[in-house]
Amino acid sequence: MADLPKHIAIIMDGNGRWAEAQGLPRIEGHRRGVDSVRMVSEMASELGIEAITLYCLSSENWKRPQPELDFLMHLLEQYLVEERRLIMEQGLRLKVIGRRDRLPESVITEMDKTLQMSAENQGTALVLAIDYGGRDEITKVVRELAREVADGKLAEEKIDEELVSSRLYTAGLPEVDLMIRTGGDFRVSNFLLWQLSYAELWVTESCWPDFKRELFLSAIDDYATRQRRFGGLSVNQ
């Protein structure tokens, strides 16, 4: 497939709404959403996408009801254990971005096991954004650079976009080329604010549990038709 994006980011929205539309508890939407996670992970590997970043839990999601949060933590821990075989078979390299200090110890334990197990894999980087916020990430980098300037370890004039990018959670990964959002909302919701600067956006009304292979391919096909100018002019202008 021509003109593949190197890095795809996905806001996996609509699990709760999907469940409510089916007359099911909200948690069933999250459970069914794991099937879509598995599908995009497998397809990214098959297509040779270099990286795929999934917005699993935002820093704002802690405002949700505690029973739902408890289930999400259980589901995450279960995913990290049960998907190890797939991760290894597909050669996926797991990476987790976001804060760790608010996650249950059991989740961190299983996360670290899967990270270590897949560290030498050479396939698609499967990036899970967990307790992640774009503003929080940028603020963290600003504080880090400010301390280094104050300590005399870094000259102010050395701070440029390349240096900032190298301090982000996504350092070493390609720039995001395509951002997919399910559930119909046209906003980025504090997701990869720096990294999405020139990403192509693709939104579908379908909720995440209904995000099937055909929709994923449609997003990639649509991306291939876009003219990416990066602030300049196309070759015909």
| Residues annotated catalytic, as ranges | 13, 61
Q: Please check if 14 is assigned to a binding site.
A: yes
Q: Please check if 189 is assigned to a binding site.
A: yes
Q: Please check if 202 is assigned to a binding site.
A: no
Q: Which 3 state secondary structure label does DSSP give 170?
A: coil
Chain centre to alpha carbon of residue 71: 20
Q: Please check if 187 is assigned to a binding site.
A: yes
Q: Please check if 229 is assigned to a binding site.
A: no
Angle at 55 between CA 96 and CA 76, to 5 degrees: 60
Q: Please check if 93 is assigned to a binding site.
A: no
Nearest to 1 by CA among 225, 202, 221: 221
Indicate the residue type of 80.
L
Burial 53-75 (b: 16+ CB within 10 A, else e): bbbbbbbebeeeeeeeeebbbeb
Q: Please check if 59 is assigned to a binding site.
A: yes
Q: Please check if 200 is assigned to a binding site.
A: yes
Q: Please check if 102 is assigned to a binding site.
A: no
Q: Please check if 62 is assigned to a binding site.
A: yes
Burial class (CB in 10 A: 0-12, 13-18, 19+), 207: buried
- Report how far residue 181's alpha carbon sits from residue 223's, in angstroms, rounded to the nearest whole number: 14
Alpha helices in 91-212 (DSSP H): 105-118, 134-150, 161-167
Q: Please check if 58 is assigned to a binding site.
A: yes
Q: Please check if 60 is assigned to a binding site.
A: yes
Q: Give Cβ neighbours of residue 218 (< 8 Å, ≥ 6 apart).
A: none
Task: Give yes or no for a contact between 8 and 48, defined as CB atoms under 8 angstroms apart.
Answer: no
Q: How far is CA 92 from CA 34, 35, 114, 117, in A?
A: 16, 17, 11, 10
* Binding residue numbers for Mg(2+): 13, 200
* Binding residue numbers for substrate: 14-18, 26, 30, 58-60, 62, 64, 181, 187-189
* Binding residue numbers: 13-18, 26, 30, 58-60, 62, 64, 181, 187-189, 200
